[in-house]
Amino acid sequence: MELKRPQTQTQVAILSFTFFSLFILTVGLDDQVQAGERYVQMRAGAAFKIAVFADLHFGENAWSDWGPDHDVNSVKVMNTVLDNETPTDFVVYLGDVVTANNILIANASLYWDQAISPTKSRNIPWASVFGNHDDTPFVWPLEWFSAPGIPPLNCAALNSTYSGEEACSFRGTQRERFELMKHDMEHGVLSYSSNGPIDLWPSISNYVIQVSSSDDPKSPVVYLYFLDSGGGSYSEVISNAQVEWFQKKSEEINPNSSVPELIFWHIPSQAYKNVAPQAGNGIDQPCVGLINKEPVASQEAELGIMDLLVKRPSVKAVFVGHNHGLDWCCPYEKLWLCYARHTGYGGYGDWPKGARIIEITQQPFSIKSWIRMEDGVVHSRVTLSP
All residues at 6 or more sequence positions from 147 whose CB lies less than 8 Å from its CB, including other chains: none
Of all residues in the chain, the percent with pLDDT exceeding 90 is 61
* Helix locations, the chain, DSSP H: 66-84, 108-120, 179-187, 240-253, 271-275, 305-310
Q: Residue length, the chain?
A: 386
Tens of pLDDT, residue by residue over 315-367, are 999 999 999 999 999 999 999 999 999 999 999 999 999 999 999 999 999 99
Question: Using CA atoms, how far apart are residues 145 and 206, in angstroms rounded to an integer?
Answer: 41
DSSP code, position 42: P
* Burial track 306-329 (b if 16+ CB lie within 10 A, e otherwise): beebeebebbbbbbbbbbbbbbbb
CA dihedral 381, 312, 255, 218 (to 10 degrees): -10
pLDDT at residue 277 in the model? 94
Q: What is the pLDDT of residues 218-273, one digit of tens each?
A: 999 999 999 999 888 778 999 999 999 999 999 999 999 999 999 999 999 999 99
- Return the higher-pLDDT residue of 317 and 65: 317
Residue 214 burial class via C-beta count within 10 angstroms: exposed 0-12, middle 13-18, buried 19 and up: middle
Three-state SS across 187-207?
Answer: HCCCECCCCCCHHHCCCCCCE
How confident is the model over 154-210, as pLDDT tens digits?
A: 555 544 444 444 555 554 333 333 344 445 545 567 889 888 888 887 788 899 999
Amino acid letter, 364: P
Find the Cα–Cα–Cα–Cα dihedral 361, 363, 365, 366, rounded to 10°: -40
Parallel, antiparallel, or unpaired for β 354-361 and 378-385?
unpaired
Between helices 179-187 and 108-120, what is the axis angle to 10°? 20
pTM for the full predicted model: 0.84
Distance CA 7, CA 309 (A): 43
Within 13 Å and on the Cβ side, how many CA atoms surround 170? 15
Decide if 19 contacts 178 (C-beta within 8 A). no
